[in-house]
Structure 1
Amino acid sequence: MRAPAAGGPVPLGQTAEPAAGPDGGGSLPDMTTTQQKAALPSRADVPREQTWDIEALFATPAAWDAEAQALPAAIDALAAHTGKLGSSPEALAAYLRQADEVELRLVRLLSYAGMGASVDGRDAVAAARRDQASTIAARFGSVTAFADPELLALDEGTVRGWLTRPDLKDDRIRLERLWRDRAHVRSAEVEELLGAVQAPFASERSIHPALANMDLRFGTAGGETITQGNVDRLTASPDREVRRQAWENYADAHLAVKHSQAAMYATNVRQNVFLARARHYPDAITATLAPNRIPVGVVTTLLDTYRAHTPTWHRYWNVRRRWLNLPELREYDVKAALVPPREVSYAQAVEWIAAGMAPLGEDYVRELRAGLTTERWVDYAENDGKRQGAYSNGGGRVKPYIFMTWNGTVASYSTLAHEIGHSMHSLLSQREHPYAVPRYTLFHAEVASNFNQAMVRQSLLKQARAAGDTDFEVALIEEALANFHRYFFIMPTLAAFELESYRRIEAGGTLSAPDLIDLTADLLQQGYGDGVTMDRERSGILWAQFSTHLYANFYAYQYATGISAAHQLLEQFAQDPEAARERYLAFLKSGGSLDPIDALKEAGVDMLSPEPVEATFRVLAGYVDRLEELLAQRSN
């Protein structure tokens, strides 16, 4: 019964897409103009239909305040079960039901608080609620620390016999997962201590975003002050000089504090190594992957297969250079638009997504459409103080929620398609299982989101090609390649960086700023080949531009495995649509009832093999082939 994630809007394994500089979030670059961004409405002035139905969680802020006052007493009451879990099956069931009820209340409290802070970072009351909810979450973790050690001390055979009872049958999965991790659960005293160190150990994870988002100054590009909120747009500007200034100045600001950043990251790595050893794991990556029964081979196979296929990326960079008619492609050119942007309304995007997901059946599409419209799952308004990025929140079993900002572009449509994949996953899995069954992991989650993007994109590409709308086809391919760049280029690079960083610390080495810069530059060079002319120092500081991805250890690789599994699943629809639909919907409904590797294997995807990554490189190669064809047509 470990505590939900404190301090964020997405507790208990639901899905968040953080924003942390270039390629750091779930949303694609903001391509709107400076003039469009100049005067944003206050939160109070945005249309209600563009906001999420947060009142479904708590009807009023006063209702949330009342729950925040009442919940600590309910948490403290759980301590009365200490020493009694094995006294009878009734006693065990009573604790688990009471703890689940309290935890679900806490999830809703955290969700509301995090959602409120996301939509208006200038709202001090919302920020205070978020901090208060985090404190309550930490209290829950401390009070319930006794449960796992006490459960493990019971006779397993006796407890297994109890699991046939109606009031305990839904607890089988989580108890079996606890038993398999028996060797890594310490005594109640040690567990309480390990829980208590989470807050002080999070210090560098809070320092980094404070430094990056509040203290760093990035200069200007094209006369506009560079911020975390506009750097993606500026590095995608049609003006190459603006792109260069934005990319270089953003990197230079991080380089100016490279030694502090390296010290923070090295501290984070050492802390995670300590925690892994405290729980008797051989290394930090095993400690992170083992609870979800993900073999380390999944990560190493991903990275080995990625490296073997980097020539596909090299080919893309060269096609991009020729399309943009540049003597050389620099890193500040990788986001430059190949065709003029096309305006896309939110209503149009809903229609595209609904039509694209039709192969999943009428029920799926009907609920998806309702969530995107009348049910108000989505907060897409653009308002002053709204944070960047996008995420999906399971909504505490009330309704799923999506956070994003609508910018009227193909990129916005893609973000919406991605996040509604998460939301439908939450809806279907929560409906299928009681709260006692574990929630799905990020490894599961990134499959669903990327699958939606891939399926809708495939539908739109067919339409564009049939209509002879070359510019729209290129825009869709660009959207795809921007998504691939984030999930299938940057994330594998960060995963390889992270794995090597941990290996160095675990071997007794150090992580200095020059070491980290050289490591990142070397890894990027593998992906760029001769297609991109690198500035090694500025390229190499990329690691410092990611807070959530690298400070949540062994997190980034799951984006690459997610997009890989999604594309292999999509291939199945070309072979046998009906069977593929049934397998995929079964995957969504399974939620966390199956470990992610097992759930995907039942859906026909073996993540221990190179095939999912190779399938995704086949798709990437197809996009590059088509760009070459269209470039040749334009040249003629």
Structure 2
Amino acid sequence: MSAEEQTRNALPVKESIEKRYRWNSESVFSGTEEWSLELASFLQELPELNKLNGRLAEGPALPAAALDLRDRLGNRLGKLIFYAVMRGAVDSGDAEARSMESRAAGAESRFAEASAFIEPELIALGEERLLAWTAESPSLAVYRHWLEDLFRQRSHVRSREIEALLGSAGEVFAGIDSVRDALADSDLRFDDAVDSQGARHPVAQSSVEALLSSPDRTLRRSAWESYCDAHLAFGPTLAAIYSAAVKKDVFLARARGYGSSLEAALFGVNIPRSVYDQTLATFRSRLPLWHRYWKAKAAALGLEKMSHWDIWAPLSKKPPKIGYEQAVGWIADALEPLGGDYAAALRKGCLEDRWVDVYPTEGKGGGAFSYGAQGLFPFIKMSWTDDLSSMSTLTHELGHSMHSLHTWKTQPPVYADYSIFVAEVASNFHQAMTRAHLFSIEKDREFQIALVEEAMENFHRYFFIMPILALFEKEVHSRIEAGEGLTDGDLRALMAKLFAEGYGDAVMLDEDREGSTWAQFGHLYANFYVFQYATGISAAHALAKPVLAGDRAAAERYVEFISAGSSVYPVDALARAGVDMTSPAAMDSAYEVLESYIDLLERLI
């Protein structure tokens, strides 16, 4: 490869990117020194919690003081953790950030240990007494919903000694994720992908998605094989790490008296088991729709049968090139039905306040996320590549960020978070609104084909990949709970079997490489997280439909929904916004949207 090609294909270093396209780190801490001073100050204040240990029965002022102090310290800790994680996410070579993550994990463990007395002491006081106190004390009244939820879960709260022990174990458990992240972002080495002209392209976590959507089939195949083969090379190690993560889930569920790790995951946020079961059952019943899509796309590409590396192949002969600023403008315009203030805050965050770390750089981890803490900006990490896929990612993450912004502005610290079950609604709502806006203003056939492709890419991730991972996760947890061991080969075989079911006879299956998919998703390290992507996209389209039809009340209900934080249970919050997730109707409706895109694609091509 020539020096010119090397320069063209190499990823830039972070410092070479214009400041306006890098996250606003200085708005959080000026640097390591200020971060370290805040960490020391945080640790010095932790003993203030101990002064309240054993005193919560003295009157309503004491529980209120303990909970307020816990929340204030928790918010400070959240900022410390965020800064370290974000630094490492945009530059895996930042050794100082890794050290800071470790120190923050230690502080988190000490915080959990120091605050472990609160819940057992409150439960010992009794629900009737505490709720009566909320009527006497305005500062305690803020916590009424939290207290009601605490007593709902009281059979799973342990003694102060055991709670302290479980809290201190958090530092040990955090090591599982740290090891996996270090391996994925730093230690995996990918062979260069080679295109049909023989030119080489570096494969990295932050660049692989762009390579997989190249019109050059040789490059797509080479990039996919390189990415999978790197994970296969570390298969036994990754299997050992993931098995440890699942065993952690099982241990914590048993320590708290749950019948299974799935029960623990659902009960914690009060999601009925029926919602989980119907999500997976509906997915399996709708697989013929996916088989139809694979065949339609294969025909459009002139292929007898699809391969995995063709899933993201562009059908548009002239895929639109979209700059970051243009995309921000389109997204803001699409969200105008939610109000001018909503759209203005989004524009300012992206273009002035530097919420987004925009471009792929050397050492930047793959994927994208929105993350922050109350009192900070809702930051986004992504890897922009001037296409509709990048715009879709930005739209999605801005859904999370605007959700966070409204929650943080509206709720006290105790409710200033929200569950994944509702988080994935906000992100997919943004995408549904933006996609509809672009369909209305861009009538060019090639642009419309590209829009359908973007929609199908999103549905593929949320309505195909994530449900398959959910089925995989369910089986893995069941086997571990039954005392079975799982090797890399076992995990690959299970993953390949599920993909074979998902593809039917419409996509050729490379069992080993397809079977490595589980190792490519850090999402599996969060206990029963992934099924909520399918519920999220379902609820999102149900909520977007009336807003797109001009229903102002529906728009207002949506803004109220993203302002609720955790002050309302997730299923109840969605019901207030206008969608019943205990019924399969929302998911069925989303499949109708998916089918409409397949219909449109068949007409356009």
Distance 1:437 1:225 in 2: 43
- Residue number in structure 1 paired with 2:581: 607
Out of 616, 619, 626, which is 2:590 matched to? Answer: 616
Over 6 Å off, 4+ runs: 33-36
Distance 2:377 2:236 in 1: 44
For the pair 1:537 / 2:508, whether they are aligned, the reply is no
Aligned partner letter, 1:318:
K
Q: CA deviation at 1:48?
A: 2.5
- Residue number in structure 2 paired with 1:342: 320
Distance 2:240 2:167 in 1: 24
Distance 2:512 2:393 in 1: 31
Verify the 8 A CA contact 1:359 1:577 in the aligned structure 2: no
Evaluate the alpha carbon distance shift between residue 403 and residue 604 of structure 1 in structure 2; reply closer, same or farther with a 3 A threshold: same
Out of 66, 78, 88, which is 1:107 matched to? Answer: 78
Q: CA deviation at 1:581?
A: 0.9
Distance 2:31 2:305 in 1: 56
More deviation in 78-87 or 98-107? 98-107
Verify the 8 A CA contact 2:206 2:361 in the aligned structure 1: no
Distance 1:485 1:439 in 2: 28
Distance 1:232 1:569 in 2: 29
Aligned partner letter, 1:149:
P
Out of 190, 195, 217, which is 2:162 matched to? Answer: 190
Aligned partner letter, 2:17:
V
For the pair 1:116 / 2:99, whether they are aligned, the reply is no
Out of 495, 499, 511, which is 1:524 matched to? Answer: 499
Aligned partner letter, 2:497:
D
Q: Deviations over 1:443-486 (max 9, x none)?
A: 11111011001101111012223xxx111111111111111111
Distance 1:259 1:118 in 2: 25
For the pair 1:89 / 2:60, whether they are aligned, the reply is yes
Identical pairs, percent? 44
Q: Deviations over 1:133-167 (max 9, x none)?
A: 22222211111111111111112211111112211
Out of 368, 372, 390, which is 1:390 matched to? Answer: 368
What is the DSSP-based 3-state SS (H/G/I as helix, E as strand, rest coil) of the residue aligned with 2:309?
A: helix
Q: CA deviation at 1:420?
A: 1.3
Q: CA deviation at 1:525?
A: 2.1
Out of 247, 264, 274, which is 1:297 matched to? Answer: 274
Out of 257, 260, 284, which is 1:307 matched to? Answer: 284
Verify the 8 A CA contact 2:10 2:202 in the aligned structure 1: no
Q: Deviations over 1:344-391 (max 9, x none)?
A: 111111110111111112221122222222233222244444333221
More deviation in 204-213 or 129-138? 204-213
Out of 436, 439, 452, which is 1:458 matched to? Answer: 436
Verify the 8 A CA contact 2:271 2:571 in the aligned structure 1: yes
Verify the 8 A CA contact 1:121 1:387 in the aligned structure 2: yes
Q: CA deviation at 1:280?
A: 0.7
Verify the 8 A CA contact 2:110 2:167 in the aligned structure 1: no
- Residue number in structure 2 paired with 1:210: 182
Aligned partner letter, 1:287:
A
- Residue number in structure 2 paired with 1:53: 24
Distance 2:436 2:598 in 1: 15
Q: Deviations over 1:593-625 (max 9, x none)?
A: 111111011112121221121111111111111
Verify the 8 A CA contact 1:395 1:401 in the aligned structure 2: no
RMSD of equivalent CA atoms: 2.2
For the pair 1:151 / 2:151, whether they are aligned, the reply is no
- Residue number in structure 1 paired with 2:547: 573
What is the DSSP-based 3-state SS (H/G/I as helix, E as strand, rest coil) of the residue aligned with 2:116?
A: helix
- Residue number in structure 1 paired with 2:33: 62
Out of 102, 108, 122, which is 1:137 matched to? Answer: 108
- Residue number in structure 2 paired with 1:25: none
Distance 1:169 1:495 in 2: 38
- Residue number in structure 2 paired with 1:626: 600
Aligned partner letter, 1:329:
M
Distance 1:553 1:69 in 2: 32
What is the DSSP-based 3-state SS (H/G/I as helix, E as strand, rest coil) of the residue aligned with 1:396?
A: coil
Distance 2:534 2:570 in 1: 14
Verify the 8 A CA contact 2:449 2:601 in the aligned structure 1: yes
Q: For structure 2, which runs of at least 5 residues remain unmatched after alignment? A: 195-199
Distance 1:171 1:110 in 2: 25
What is the DSSP-based 3-state SS (H/G/I as helix, E as strand, rest coil) of the residue aligned with 1:81?
A: coil
Verify the 8 A CA contact 1:331 1:534 in the aligned structure 2: yes
Verify the 8 A CA contact 1:170 1:437 in the aligned structure 2: no
Distance 1:369 1:248 in 2: 39
Q: CA deviation at 1:224?
A: 3.6
Q: CA deviation at 1:34?
A: 7.4
Q: CA deviation at 1:109?
A: 1.8
Q: Deviations over 1:100-120 (max 9, x none)?
A: 222222122222222222333
Distance 1:257 1:555 in 2: 24
Out of 561, 564, 570, which is 1:590 matched to? Answer: 564
Q: CA deviation at 1:43?
A: 3.2
Distance 1:147 1:624 in 2: 53
Out of 171, 180, 186, which is 2:143 matched to? Answer: 171
Evaluate the alpha carbon distance shift between residue 524 and residue 207 of structure 1 in structure 2; reply closer, same or farther with a 3 A threshold: same
Out of 45, 49, 63, which is 1:78 matched to? Answer: 49
For the pair 1:320 / 2:297, whether they are aligned, the reply is yes
- Residue number in structure 2 paired with 1:21: none
TM-score, with structure 1 as normaliser: 0.89
Q: CA deviation at 1:235?
A: 2.8
**Bigger relative contact order (CA 8 A; separation at least 6):** 1
Q: How many residues align?
A: 595
Verify the 8 A CA contact 1:119 1:385 in the aligned structure 2: yes
Evaluate the alpha carbon distance shift between residue 34 and residue 402 of structure 1 in structure 2; reply closer, same or farther with a 3 A threshold: farther
Evaluate the alpha carbon distance shift between residue 142 and residue 260 of structure 1 in structure 2; reply closer, same or farther with a 3 A threshold: same
Out of 131, 145, 169, which is 1:160 matched to? Answer: 131
What is the DSSP-based 3-state SS (H/G/I as helix, E as strand, rest coil) of the residue aligned with 1:342?
A: coil
Alignment of 1:227-376 (within 5 A): 227-339=204-316, 340-376=318-354
What is the DSSP-based 3-state SS (H/G/I as helix, E as strand, rest coil) of the residue aligned with 2:418?
A: coil
What is the DSSP-based 3-state SS (H/G/I as helix, E as strand, rest coil) of the residue aligned with 1:579?
A: helix
Distance 1:346 1:336 in 2: 22
Verify the 8 A CA contact 2:106 2:171 in the aligned structure 1: no
Alignment of 1:493-572 (within 5 A): 493-546=468-521, 548-572=522-546
Aligned partner letter, 1:125:
E
Distance 2:516 2:359 in 1: 33
Q: CA deviation at 1:124?
A: 2.9
Verify the 8 A CA contact 1:495 1:554 in the aligned structure 2: yes
What is the DSSP-based 3-state SS (H/G/I as helix, E as strand, rest coil) of the residue aligned with 2:370?
A: strand
More deviation in 217-226 or 438-447? 217-226
What is the DSSP-based 3-state SS (H/G/I as helix, E as strand, rest coil) of the residue aligned with 1:402?
A: strand
Q: Deviations over 1:66-114 (max 9, x none)?
A: 2122110111221111101111112222222222222222122222222
Verify the 8 A CA contact 2:332 2:346 in the aligned structure 1: yes
- Residue number in structure 1 paired with 2:197: none
